């Protein structure tokens, strides 16, 4: 499942770490990116052999063909259905009228608050189970999912390879996070992707679900460079005890899970400004403010359910 990995990818890092000799040397960056696009597999010296093999394998599944078709079908009919069955009795969804009509050839980015490991799974499973045909992607912490063989199996069985690209916690591997951001941007640009990110960067463990953590700049970098519709959503009621959550659903006595969608975010000209770490932070903060507004709506909705 998606976790609390920081998706900002160290937006303030210069990216001066050079790829190992023999790696790809792409030219100037396209669009609004500040530097050239980085490839995860360029940084051979920062990846273990297991990580390199797993990244290469998952990347192959994005190429048109049998792998991609099978994964899209599995995400739609298997992954989304088990989540649907485990949440439908206590889940309340609002704001559907604000959503755009999803074009299968376009990509979309959903930005959400981050209270549990399962926030984006519940959000996207609801949409996929109701016909959204896009391939799902959630950047995920590399620990376990990419540094152990079992991680590849769990990624494939639990999410059908939605947990990609990896995000790295270690400071000495910060350049890999910039490469993960570039990979996310490339996948959004190619179309047919539905990517979930958390502007807060890490899971909020505080007692107040409406007090959000500071926005991180990496999400703003993705938003500016990818130029896709960005949909905000506020999720509340999910915990990290999966067994308890499922039991509460089937007994219908669990706390309500409320999902509140907003309309695509208007970034008020920010996306046309020269890219910089400061601008990317502003973009992320603007996205987080839209999530905060949805949170206040959710608070009122929750009060009416009591």
Strands (E), the chain: 91-94, 108-112, 135-137, 140-141, 166-167, 193-197, 229-236, 257-261
Domain boundaries, the chain: 40-305
Q: How many CB atoms lie within 10 A of CB 163?
A: 27
* pLDDT score recorded for residue 252: 94
Whole-number Å distance between alpha carbons of 23 and 20: 6
What would the pLDDT profile of 114-172 be if each residue is shown by its tens digit? 998 889 989 998 999 888 999 999 998 888 788 888 888 878 887 899 999 999 988 89
Helix, strand, or coil (residue 109) = strand
Mean pLDDT of the chain: 86
pLDDT the model gives residue 19: 42
Note the pLDDT tens digit of each residue in 243-253.
899 999 999 99
Tens digit of each residue's pLDDT (9 = 90 or more) over 161-202: 999 999 998 889 989 999 999 999 999 999 999 999 999 998
Q: Does the structure show a pLDDT above 70 at 28?
A: no
Residue 283 or residue 203, greater confidence: 283
Check whether the bond before 254 is cis (ω within 30° of 0). no
The encoded tokens of residue 294 equal 């949805």
- Residue 126: φ, ψ to 5°: -60, -45
Relative orientation angle of helices 80-87 and 242-251, to the nearest 10 degrees: 60
Band of pLDDT at residue 223, cut at 50, 70 and 90? very high
H helices, E strands: number in the chain:
9, 8
Choose which CATH entry (3.40.1350, 1.10.238, 3.40.1130, 3.40.50) describes domain 40-305: 3.40.1130
Mean pLDDT calculated for residue range 49-61 = 91
Q: According to the model, what pLDDT value does residue 271 have?
A: 97
Asked if 85 and 125 count as a contact pair (C-beta separation under 8 A), the reply is no
Assign 31 a pLDDT band (cuts: 50, 70, 90): very low
pLDDT bracket for residue 36 (50, 70, 90): low
Q: Say how far apart CA 246 and CA 262 lie, in whole Å.
A: 27
Q: Which of 228, 217, 229, 213 is nearest to 292 (CA)?
A: 213
Tokens of 260: 């509140």
CA distance 229 to 237: 26
Give the percent of the chain with pLDDT over 90.
63
**pLDDT at residue 278 tops 90:** yes
User: Both tokens of residue 248?
Assistant: 């509460």
CA-to-CA distance for 274 and 17, rounded, in angstroms?
A: 23
* 290-300: pLDDT as tens digits: 999 999 999 99
Q: What percent of the chain has pLDDT over 70?
A: 88
């Amino acid at each position: 499942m998606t976790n609390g990995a920081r998706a900002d990818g160290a937006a303030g890092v210069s990216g001066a770490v050079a790829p190992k000799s023999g790696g790809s040397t792409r030219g100037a960056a396209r669009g609004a990116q500040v530097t050239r696009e980085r490839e995860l597999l360029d940084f051979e010296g920062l990846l273990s052999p297991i990580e390199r093999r797993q990244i290469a394998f998952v990347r192959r599944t994005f190429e048109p063909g049998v792998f991609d078709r099978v994964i899209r079908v599995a995400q739609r009919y298997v992954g989304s259905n088990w989540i649907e069955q485990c949440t439908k009795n206590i889940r309340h969804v609002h704001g559907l009228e604000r959503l755009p009509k999803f074009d299968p050839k376009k990509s979309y980015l959903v930005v959400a608050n981050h209270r549990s490991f399962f926030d984006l799974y519940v959000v996207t499973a609801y949409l996929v189970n109701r016909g959204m045909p896009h391939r799902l992607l959630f950047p995920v912490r590399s620990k376990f999912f990419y540094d152990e063989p079992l991680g590849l199996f769990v990624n494939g069985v639990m999410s059908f390879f939605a947990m990609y690209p990896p995000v790295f916690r270690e400071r000495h591997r910060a350049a890999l996070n910039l490469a993960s951001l570039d990979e996310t941007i490339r996948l959004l640009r190619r179309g047919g992707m539905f990517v979930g990110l958390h502007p807060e960067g890490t899971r909020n463990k505080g007692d107040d679900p409406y007090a959000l953590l500071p926005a991180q700049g990496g999400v703003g970098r993705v938003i500016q460079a990818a130029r896709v519709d960005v949909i905000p959503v506020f999720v509340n009621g999910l915990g990290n005890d999966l067994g308890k959550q499922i039991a509460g659903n089937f007994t219908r006595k669990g706390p309500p899970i409320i999902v509140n969608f907003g309309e695509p975010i208007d970034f008020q000209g920010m996306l046309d400004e020269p890219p910089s770490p400061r601008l990317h932070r502003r973009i992320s903060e603007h996205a987080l403010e839209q999530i905060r507004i949805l949170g206040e709506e959710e608070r009122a909705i929750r009060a009416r359910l009591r």
